[in-house]
């Protein structure tokens, strides 16, 4: 099946620092999304970004579908940015079916 590799698996930042999270895909990127999982487990949709670049406040994301990767940038990090970040691709998985495939996540800890 389609593989989604996220890096780094863990990241510790000082408040105010910038960071880049990455997702690599083994197959075509169709409907890529980035999520932040809050302490209660809810997945907060950050970006729906099948291609190109989007920005929302201190966060931005870029997907280069032809090279099968996506990047999530967090600038001027805050302690509230802590949590787990997932990328997800909705892509054809064979036999006429599509699946939502997740990376294993990046656990971000922002310290004051």
Binding site for other proteins (CB under 8 A): 30-31, 33, 35, 40-43, 45, 48, 50, 86, 88, 90, 92, 97-100, 102-105
User: Both tokens of residue 103?
Assistant: 């990376």
Question: Least distance (Å) from other proteins to the CB of residue 90?
Answer: 5
DSSP string, 33-89: EEEEE-TTSPEEEEEE-SSEEEEETTEEEEEEGGGTEEEEEE-S--GGG-EEEEEEE
Q: Which is nearer to other proteins, 53 or 99 (CB)?
A: 99
What number of residues does the chain have?
Answer: 112
CA distance 85 to 23: 11
Question: Least distance (Å) from other proteins to the CB of residue 85?
Answer: 11
Q: Which is nearer to other proteins, 15 or 48 (CB)?
A: 48
Q: Which is nearer to other proteins, 75 or 82 (CB)?
A: 82
Question: Least distance (Å) from other proteins to the CB of residue 45?
Answer: 7
Question: Least distance (Å) from other proteins to the CB of residue 41?
Answer: 5
**Residue of 82, 87, 102 whose CA lies nearest to 19:** 82
């Amino acid at each position: 099946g389609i593989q989604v590799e996220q890096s780094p698996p863990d990241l510790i930042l000082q408040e105010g620092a910038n960071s880049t999270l990455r997702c690599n895909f083994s197959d075509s990127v169709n409907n890529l999304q980035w999520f932040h999982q809050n302490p209660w487990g809810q997945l907060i949709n950050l970006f729906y970004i099948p291609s190109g670049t989007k920005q929302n406040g201190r966060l931005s994301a870029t997907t280069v579908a032809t090279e099968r990767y996506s990047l999530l940038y967090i600038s001027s990090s805050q302690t509230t940015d802590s949590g787990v970040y997932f990328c997800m691709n909705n892509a054809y998985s064979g036999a006429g079916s599509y699946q939502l495939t997740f990376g294993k996540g990046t656990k971000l800890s922002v310290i004051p």
